[in-house]
């Protein structure tokens, strides 16, 4: 059969010995074209009915196909047709639990390796691919659902993921739904929730309801959507509302004007009994401050500095932007921490010995504090037992060298006192306080700026540093954040996931992966969530660019989601969380 007969062009490779023509080998290698050609032939066989040996049926539609093809594509059909089941001998097989259109899509995929996934078909297709064990389609559907999480889709995705026991997708959808409670409550999907699912939703401790009144209103809205049917569920739903945090004047007024609420059996006792509160106290009454760092390049040879401070709400939305104090501070290489609701900023390349205090309560004022003993940048700051510490960094002087010096701020004298120095001079490290100690993770050492794995721990009771278990890999320019007596390491060039350190067990665990570049990003804690802002990444042309993306990591569910972008791309900046006024 020549090439025109079999529809393919063979690549011929001749191997000849030097000056010898007796031995000749020919290799037919068509790996780049053969799969597509073979699939086309199978599709032709199906269209012609050639060697077709089974018909799959759903909703009255009959779909002829080949047992061999379906077995190769689906573990479900592989098990069905292996001879142990009665279906292996049947000519027609009814496939229950899915629509004819969905079955047709999966059969077509088996013959073409292609399927078009849309918002309209992704959920039934995902469920069918899961049932029929068509792995590649299942994976793509999961990615599609995750990438298209919206207020109007997250609840259905959450419920579907729970049904299919997909813990990762369930956690992602759950996290999105909790964070966007306000928007979710306005959707038709919210009004159609089953009572038990709604109860689960509003009982979550991480529900982002700015006021508990909104939770009560959401419950009443859901009940009134089908009052006759749903009124019987009202009391059990009200048990999930924290009436302790509902404004008493608001509550008195709604009890007087809302007959549906007032007529609930035992409502007054329920309001008074605070032991039934399903969630902890509100944990989202803070704001995020972001300042300093760099924007994208102004031109090829000049990096544009950021001289503004951005104030974001807990949803990542911009509340206000203001200029940093004069002289035009950029805080490049500076460090910051929050103590007594004020922000303390120290050092940096331009003003390496200076310290500043920012106070929201004093009309957003900036006050200069006493100078540090050591001029430094690339250092770290931590608050331990109400005391502000400055640790490590690079000294600024005739020679830029790493330093071990640790200083503690004395509020009474407005000065800095030396305490025990680091065991290893380090800069660009992660720093956090946990279990009444300060932990310093990795960083750059010596003048080589070589990344290290050492972890140093400061005990104020002994005024001494010790080494803890080293990091599993060398890390630098990372962020360390403490939540619930554990420290979470984020960012850097090589770290692709959140790394959790347990000080009590002195061990590490790999957590959720990042979903956006986070080298030279900043991270700050808001309740049980960590907001990772900005960062640097290389574009297709190899140029460095700042990122405006904001990732939110929830430590309780071990999920990472995207929230609203920053007003501008930033990297090398500082972020802190302060109480909301």
Let me know whether 206 and 116 are in one domain: no
Let me know whether 85 and 138 are in one domain: yes
- pLDDT grade, residue 269 (50/70/90)? confident
Instruction: For residues 236-259, give the mean pLDDT.
Output: 89
Instruction: Spell out where 442-573 has E strands.
Output: 444-445, 450-451, 455-459, 464-468, 478-483, 486-491, 497-502, 507-513, 522-526, 529-533, 536-538, 544-546, 550-554, 559-563
Query: Residue 435: how many CB atoms within 10 A of its CB?
Result: 13
pLDDT for residue 376: 94
Which pLDDT tens digit goes with each residue over 416-426? 999 999 999 99
Give domain status of residue 79, yes or no.
yes
Give domain status of residue 117, yes or no.
yes
Helices 212-224 and 195-203: crossing angle in degrees, nearest 10, is 180
Global pTM value: 0.71
Let me know whether 129 and 218 are in one domain: no
Give domain status of residue 67, yes or no.
yes
Residue 12: strand, helix, or coil: strand
Q: Look at phi and psi of residue 8 and say left if phi exceeds 0, alpha if psi is from -120 to 50, else beta.
A: beta
Let me know whether 139 and 199 are in one domain: no
pLDDT for residue 540: 60
Number of domains in the chain: 2
Measure CA 208 to chain center: 16
Q: How does DSSP assign 25-81, residue by residue?
A: -EEE--TTTHHHHHHHHHHHHHHHTTT--EEEEETTEEEEE-HHHHHHH-HHHHHHT
- pLDDT grade, residue 327 (50/70/90)? low
- pLDDT grade, residue 456 (50/70/90)? very high
Give domain status of residue 47, yes or no.
yes
Let me know whether 47 and 144 are in one domain: yes
CATH number at residue 266: 1.25.40.420
- pLDDT grade, residue 8 (50/70/90)? very low
Give domain status of residue 419, yes or no.
no
- pLDDT grade, residue 447 (50/70/90)? low
Q: Domain end: 148, 179, 204, which one? A: 148
Buried b (16+ CB within 10 A) or exposed e, 203-236: ebebbbbeebbbbbbbbbebbeeeeeebeebbee
CATH number at residue 109: 3.30.710.10
Distances (CA, A) of 461 to 314, 420, 434, 470: 35, 11, 14, 23
Give domain status of residue 137, yes or no.
yes
**Nearest to 468, CA basis, from 450, 494, 489, 495:** 489
Q: Domain end: 249, 276, 303, which one? A: 276
Instruction: Look over the chain and give the mean of its residue pLDDT values, rounded to a whole number.
Output: 87
Let me know whether 144 and 40 are in one domain: yes
Which pLDDT tens digit goes with each residue over 92-119? 999 999 999 999 999 999 999 899 999 9
pLDDT for residue 280: 44
Q: Domain end: 257, 276, 295, which one? A: 276
pLDDT for residue 155: 96
Name the maximum alpha-carbon separation found in the chain.
106
Identify the helix (H) or strand (E) that includes residue 190. Answer: helix 188-191
Distances (CA, A) of 312 to 550, 566, 580: 11, 9, 11
**Residue 472 predicted with pLDDT over 90:** yes
Let me know whether 59 and 127 are in one domain: yes
Let me know whether 64 and 117 are in one domain: yes
Let me know whether 139 and 201 are in one domain: no
Cα separation of 342 and 363, whole Å? Answer: 12
pLDDT for residue 449: 62
Instruction: For residues 323-349, give the mean pLDDT.
Output: 85
Instruction: Supply the range of the domain harboring residue 222.
Output: 193-276
Give domain status of residue 197, yes or no.
yes
Is residue 454 a contact partner of residue 447, using CB atoms and an 8 Å limit?
Answer: no
pLDDT for residue 246: 87
Give domain status of residue 43, yes or no.
yes
Cα separation of 389 and 408, whole Å? Answer: 4
DSSP letter, residue 565: P
Q: How far apart are the first and last CA of the chain?
A: 83
pLDDT for residue 267: 86
Cα separation of 104 and 91, whole Å? Answer: 18
- pLDDT grade, residue 22 (50/70/90)? low
Check residues 431 and 312 and name the one with the higher pLDDT.
431
Which pLDDT tens digit goes with each residue over 153-206? 999 999 999 999 998 899 889 989 998 999 999 999 999 999 999 999 998 878
Let me know whether 201 and 143 are in one domain: no
């Amino acid at each position: 059969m020549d090439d025109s007969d079999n529809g393919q062009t063979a690549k011929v490779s001749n191997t000849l010995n030097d000056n010898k023509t007796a031995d000749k080998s020919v290799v037919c290698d068509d790996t780049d074209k053969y799969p597509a050609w073979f699939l086309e032939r199978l599709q032709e066989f199906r269209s012609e009915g050639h060697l077709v040996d089974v018909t799959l049926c759903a909703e009255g539609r009959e779909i002829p196909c080949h047992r061999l093809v379906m077995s190769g594509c689906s573990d479900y059909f592989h098990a069905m047709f292996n001879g142990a089941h009665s279906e292996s001998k049947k000519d027609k097989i009814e496939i229950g639990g899915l629509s004819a259109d969905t079955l047709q899509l999966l059969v077509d995929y088996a013959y073409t390796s292609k399927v078009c996934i849309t918002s309209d078909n992704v959920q039934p297709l995902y469920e069918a691919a899961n049932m029929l064990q068509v792995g590649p389609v299942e994976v793509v559907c999961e990615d599609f659902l995750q990438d298209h999480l919206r207020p109007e889709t997250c609840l259905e995705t959450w419920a579907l993921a729970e049904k299919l026991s997909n813990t990762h997708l369930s956690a992602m959808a759950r996290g999105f739904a909790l964070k966007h409670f306000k928007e979710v409550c306005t959707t038709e999907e919210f009004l159609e929730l089953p009572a038990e699912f709604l109860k689960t939703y509003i009982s979550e401790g991480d529900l982002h309801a700015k006021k508990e009144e909104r939770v009560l209103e959401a419950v009443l809205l859901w009940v009134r959507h089908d009052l006759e049917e749903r009124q019987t569920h009202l009391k059990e739903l009200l048990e999930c509302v924290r009436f302790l945090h509902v404004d008493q004047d608001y509550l008195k007024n709604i009890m007087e004007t809302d007959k549906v609420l007032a007529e609930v059996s035992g409502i007054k006792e329920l309001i008074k009994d605070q032991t039934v509160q399903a969630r902890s106290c509100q944990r989202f009454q803070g704001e995020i401050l972001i300042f300093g760092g760099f924007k994208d390049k102004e031109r090829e040879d000049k990096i544009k500095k950021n001289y503004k401070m951005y104030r974001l709400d807990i949803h990542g939305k911009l509340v206000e932007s203001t200029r940093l104090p004069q002289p035009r501070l950029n805080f490049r290489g500076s460090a910051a921490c929050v103590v007594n609701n004020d922000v303390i900023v120290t050092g940096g390349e331009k003003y390496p010995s200076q310290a500043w205090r920012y106070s929201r309560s004093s009309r957003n004022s900036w006050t200069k504090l006493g100078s540090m003993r050591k001029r430094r940048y690339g250092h770290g700051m931590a608050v331990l037992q109400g005391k502000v510490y400055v640790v490590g960094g690079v000294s600024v002087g005739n020679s830029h060298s790493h330093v071990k010096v640790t200083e503690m701020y004395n509020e009474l004298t407005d000065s800095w006192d030396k305490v025990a120095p680091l065991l290893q001079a380090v800069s660009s490290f992660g720093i956090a306080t946990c279990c009444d100690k300060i932990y310093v993770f990795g960083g750059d050492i010596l003048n080589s700026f070589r990344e290290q794995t050492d972890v140093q721990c400061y005990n104020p009771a002994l005024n001494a540093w010790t080494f803890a278990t080293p990091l599993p890999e060398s890390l630098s320019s990372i962020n360390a954040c403490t939540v619930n007596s554990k420290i979470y390491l984020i960012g850097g060039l090589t770290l692709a996931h959140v790394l959790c350190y347990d000080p009590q067990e002195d061990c590490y665990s790999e957590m959720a992966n990042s979903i956006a570049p986070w080298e030279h990003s900043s991270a700050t804690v808001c309740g049980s969530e960590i907001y990772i802002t900005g960062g640097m990444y290389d574009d297709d042309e190899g140029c460095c660019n700042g990122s405006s993306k904001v990732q939110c990591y929830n430590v309780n569910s071990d999920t990472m989601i995207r929230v609203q972008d920053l007003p501008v791309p930033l990297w090398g900046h500082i972020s802190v969380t302060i109480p909301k006024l």
